[in-house]
Amino acid sequence: MKKRKMAAAFMAALMLTASLAGCGSSEKAESASDPSHGGAGKEEELLTIDMFCAPANYQGVQTGWFGKAIKDACNVEVNIIAPNVAGGGDSLYQTRSAAGNLGDLIVIRKDQLEDCYKAGLLYDMTDFVANSKNLKNYSKSSENLSKLLGTDRIYAFANSSSLLSPMEPAWTAVNPSMAIFSRWDYYKELGKPQLKDM
């Protein structure tokens, strides 16, 4: 169960990264902040994205290498709202959804997704996805979730979406669980032999 929660949190981070992939600097952005291009020379205001993430085990502003990477690339910080840290259960979800404020990005269960759709808490991303080269790649997951919601509009993406073929075994991709693991001191004691096959 813990691996599943970690995988869901990782996929949420991956989806955030994919959705923000186009927010790097450009000539237009440089000219807006550079006085020599007629801009005011003022840095853009830091954007904070609230992310309600049911499986998360950390709450607060994202720190570490990922927090730094998105802040440097996009001038964005992610504030993680985690029900597991805030007492567990559905009470935080119920309170925030009743107030109409789950967050900007949400990672929730299928039954909660249906509730949010019925309550009008989800953003219709159909036009946004149509113009996004990266998100179009995950159209199958969005189509299946749209069918679940009974609509032809796009409101969500599955957190286990992949561009890998469903017909290929997962181990053909880079998978650290398919390796020989040994203590370093034992491997060194054996003379660090080169492994030719498994």
Structure tokens belonging to residue 51: 């992310």
CATH topology of domain 2-160: D-Maltodextrin-Binding Protein; domain 2 (3.40.190)
The domain ranges of the chain are: 2-160
Residue 50 β-bridge partners: 79
Residue 78 has a pLDDT of 96
What was the pLDDT predicted at 7? 45
- Residue 74: what are its φ and ψ, rounded to 5°? -130, 0
The whole-angstrom separation of Cα 65 and Cα 15 is 17
Per-residue CA distances from 32 to 24, 38, 44, 108, 144 (Å): 14, 7, 9, 37, 41
Blockwise average pLDDT, block size 10, the chain, 198 residues: 47 50 47 44 82 92 93 95 85 92 93 94 91 86 90 89 72 60 86 81
Q: Give me the half-sphere count of Cα atoms (radius 13 Å) on the Cβ side of residue 177.
A: 5
- Coil vs helix vs strand at 49: strand
pLDDT at site 88: 75
What beta strand segments (E) does the chain contain?
Answer: 47-53, 60-61, 76-81, 105-107
The pLDDT of residue 8 is 47
| pTM for this predicted structure | 0.62
List the one residue out of 105, 95, 96 whose CA is nearest residue 159.
105
Largest distance between two CA atoms of the chain: 66
Q: How many CB atoms lie within 10 A of CB 161?
A: 19
User: CA 73, CA 20: separation in Å to the nearest integer?
Assistant: 9
| pLDDT (0 to 100) of residue 51 | 95
- Give the CA distances from residue 55 to residues 3, 13, 83, 94, 101, in Å, rounded to whole numbers and listed in that order: 11, 12, 8, 15, 18
CA distance 47 to 181: 42
Q: What is the DSSP string of 75-132?
A: SEEEEEE-TTTTTSSSHHHHHHHHTT---SEEE--HHHHHHHHHTT-S---HHHHHT-
